[in-house]
Amino acid sequence: MSTSIDDLMASVDAPLIVVTTSAEGERAGCLVGFHSQASIDPQRYCFWLSKANHTYRVALRSDRFAVHFLTSADRDLARHFGAVSGSDTDKFSGLDLTVTEEGVPLLADLPNRLLVDRVTMLDDGGDHACLTARVVAVGGEGNFTALRPSQLGNLTPGHGSEERAIHP
């Protein structure tokens, strides 16, 4: 058997999301490929953040997040949140957004979203940490076609995995 996990995952072609949050007045957001509903009752959603990302560092101090589901028409926003680093750039500058009472940026162009509260964060030593969250609110405009990595093409991340904030 010569198939690699990368080949297998490319065939699955899971949808992409943008996760946004804030802590102590600092906003953050990133493109996320690892995510899933994790429980029906109680409602839970999990997403994995790269430990190299600015969003991960802000998430360590955050309790509330927005999970924005990308549509096939959202390639530019996906590239923006996936290839630009929030460490040295305000990713939200020039974007149409509202801010929750907790300071979480909600992207107007991505109305299909969950608002979630952190339940726990698991760091098992890999290059991503899993955040399990309780669903607080759901917003959307009905059925949509999700944006998938195969539709995005090559994307160079704002930070490489070797730039992890915390090494095992």
Q: Which domain holds residue 40?
A: 5-150
**The whole model's pTM is what?**
0.87
pLDDT at res. 33: 93
Contact at 8 Å (CB) between 92 and 105?
Answer: yes
Q: Does the residue 58 lie in any domain? A: yes
Q: Does the residue 89 lie in any domain? A: yes
Q: Does the residue 12 lie in any domain? A: yes
Q: Does the residue 157 lie in any domain? A: no
Q: What is the Cα–Cα distance from 43 to 114, expressed in whole angstroms?
A: 11
For the chain, how long is the longest CA-to-CA vector? Answer: 52
Q: Does the residue 13 lie in any domain? A: yes
Q: How many domains are contained in the chain?
A: 1
The pLDDT tens digits of the residues spanning 18-61 come to 999 999 999 999 999 999 999 999 999 999 999 999 999 999 99
Contact at 8 Å (CB) between 65 and 133?
Answer: yes
The CATH number of residue 104's host domain is 2.30.110.10
Q: What is the Cα–Cα distance from 156 to 39, expressed in whole angstroms?
A: 32
Q: Does the residue 160 lie in any domain? A: no
Q: Does the residue 159 lie in any domain? A: no
Q: Does the residue 166 lie in any domain? A: no
